[in-house]
Structure 1
């Protein structure tokens, strides 16, 4: 499902903050060398993440799902001086391209890469996070929420990506489609969770903004 016309998407991008050159370079290399480049956060959503991070001014950020590092760089733009961003991905083959662009961006010393299963890594992090971005395996979203919440505090902002799932969340559910089923449950959980205040934003493929009470 296409939510906005290409003309409108281009207009939105053209009237938002320009994409930093380092991210244009990362986008180009990702398209040339990495499979599924559509997984990139992209210009418009990247600027949304950057601005939200600058509003929050987090000391500690957690990102679940690094891919080639585009969203991590966007989020790092809002870090407090001396702040840290922990980013987790299961694909060790992407480590080097991530590190290359983290260092070129100027945020390299503030970004800690973790390779492995986020559900195993997060409980081991002795950190309380001010900002969390979930953008990894959709079937694990409910489990990510369970391990993330103990690492938050009142005022922590939780961002969840791809919650519209190309419009499948409003279509008749295929009984075999476990991913959409879990996302439907996840979206409802965020809405009714007693510890969260939530609004679902129609940004790209859906970006939910939740605040820990």
Structure 2
């Protein structure tokens, strides 16, 4: 079992945790390295045919997607809670929705997207997959769309504008089923400044001149960590997922 500074040293690769004093320094591995990303990517689940087409499109167009390592996590979470109802704040053309669907035996995934062309692409791709749930394609602001649903939701993805992440959590938290999960993407890598987030995690205030995305991620983490009915952990897969379960 590690404690504060020991765990930080282990994550940063500057030394082993307590109880591992005899481990050579060369065998202490930084947690956020290119090698780690290659390792996680190499062990990520394979795309199905539809996802492979989506990923090829994303590569060509430079479109950000959660990727198979994070997507596989969504699939596992859907299986763990036996999800029947999923809501996404920001869906793009449906890549993340396809991962939720691969972990579901039935039910519905609600996609939200302000770009009608992206949503139309999802309408073309997702029905071609061998997915059990149905898909509800909703064009518009996710914060408005979610108000039209009573829930409960077994799984929620927060992946829209980072400065609105906390608003998304507050809008959906009472609609999450007990035992359900809320997942936020890009809490480690992405548009937010990671050095500022590290300082925030160590207790420093987020500077007023930090980017809106950085302040948005910090505000979201403040919100979920302060919620007494949720427990949160950070997973360093993809661009970093904050996974919060309702207790």
The answer as to 2:86 corresponding to 1:61 is: yes
Structure 1 unaligned spans of 5+: none
Matched residue SS, 1:153: strand
What is the TM-score with the length of structure 1 in the denominator? Answer: 0.88
Distance across 2 between alignment mates of 1:15 and 1:153: 31
The answer as to 2:220 corresponding to 1:196 is: no
- Who is 2:161 aligned against? 137
Using the TM superposition, give the Cα deviation of residue 131 of structure 1 relative to its aligned residue in structure 2, in angstroms: 0.8
1:173–1:180 Cα contact (<8 Å) kept? no
- Who is 1:20 aligned against? 48
**Equivalent pairs, count:** 207
Distance across 1 between alignment mates of 2:239 and 2:41: 15
Distance across 1 between alignment mates of 2:103 and 2:67: 17
C-alpha RMSD of matched pairs (Å)? 2.1
Matched residue SS, 1:210: strand
Within 5 A, what are the aligned runs for 1:13-162?
A: 13-32=41-60, 34=61, 36-37=62-63, 39-81=64-106, 83-107=107-131, 110-162=134-186
1:62–1:129 Cα contact (<8 Å) kept? yes
| Cα 1:41–1:103 shift into 2, 3 Å | same
- Who is 2:21 aligned against? none
Deviation digits for residues 126-160 of structure 1 (CA, Å, limit 9, x no counterpart): 33101111111111111111110121221111111
Deviation digits for residues 91-135 of structure 1 (CA, Å, limit 9, x no counterpart): 111122111110111338611110101111101113310111111
Distance across 1 between alignment mates of 2:133 and 2:176: 23
1:61–1:130 Cα contact (<8 Å) kept? yes
2:105–2:132 Cα contact (<8 Å) kept? no
Using the TM superposition, give the Cα deviation of residue 14 of structure 1 relative to its aligned residue in structure 2, in angstroms: 2.2
Deviates more, 1:11-20 or 1:192-201: 11-20
Distance across 2 between alignment mates of 1:61 and 1:179: 25
Distance across 1 between alignment mates of 2:115 and 2:132: 19
| Cα 1:20–1:30 shift into 2, 3 Å | same
Structure 2 unaligned spans of 5+: 1-30, 200-205
Aligned mate of 2:198, from 155, 158, 170: 170
What is the TM-score with the length of structure 2 in the denominator? Answer: 0.77
Distance across 1 between alignment mates of 2:245 and 2:133: 28
